Amino acid sequence: MGRIAGVFKGRSSTALIGFTVAGDPDKDTCVRIARALIHAGTDILELGVPFSDPVADGPTIQRAGDRALAAGTTPDTVFAIVRDVRGHSDVPIVLLTYFNTVFRRGIEKFYRDACAAGVDGILIADMPVEESGEVLVAAKKNAIDQILLVARTTSDERLRTIAANAGGFLYLVSVLGVTGARSGVPQAAFDLVRRAKAVTDLPVALGFGISTPDQVASCAAHGADGVIVGSAIVDLVEQNLKDHAMMLHRLEGYIASLRAALQEPSGER
């Protein structure tokens, strides 16, 4: 059993998936951020590979990507960060990237290097399932879960196709649009959880726009196996760039508040 499957197997509470941008604001600080997120209760760590044209990301994560690129972050840096984190933790690590980054390195080489570094899953944000054949082969060969996105507008027929090819968990996009904190989780996101669970036994995780304890608790109460929180974490990094000790303290407190919300009975608050 892989590390991602191990997180979901037999658990009684919804898994917390925490996202940060690899290399933001620099390599060493990013490693400390990742370790703080894990220490505070993140079940799966998601690292965004910085890219110059991140079409799925809102302003917060775009700025983080710019900081990481300005600091000289490359895919090699990302793999080094994974190795550093893996040296201290067995928590599953997922990379969120874009196809151009994978293609430029070579699909097989990217996946081979990711596996060697200790990556458990990869999500290519701009890769439709219909064009995933070569990637799926590389993922299987290197024992990496290929995580696939499902939008609210996805038909039931296409949802089945995505689920049949996905690994690890289905990443359900809770909003229409790009990443970024929202005031609430729309009912349509919970409808998507129900639809996904009707066609697959894979765990389903809601992401995009989720940021508060009340929101993660609501996702849990509506049956999500995992909740992905990103922009709110990256916001805390950005707000504390001049005081890294405070940054890490605030990140740990924030993750602890989300963890507590998910551990309350049935996700209710």
Residue positions annotated with a catalytic role: 46, 57
CB 122 within 8 A of CB 94: yes
Nearest Cα neighbor of 230 from 173, 176, 190 is: 173
Q: What is the distance between the alpha carbons of residues 236 and 97, in angstroms, rounded to a whole number? A: 22
Which 3 state secondary structure label does DSSP give 63?
A: helix
Tell how strand 204-207 and strand 170-173 pair up: parallel
Q: Residues 6 or more apart from 146 whose CB is under 8 A from it?
A: 121, 122, 123, 132, 135, 136, 139, 165, 166, 167, 168
The answer to whether residues 209 and 192 touch, using CB atoms and an 8 Å cutoff, is: no
Element (H, E) at 119: none
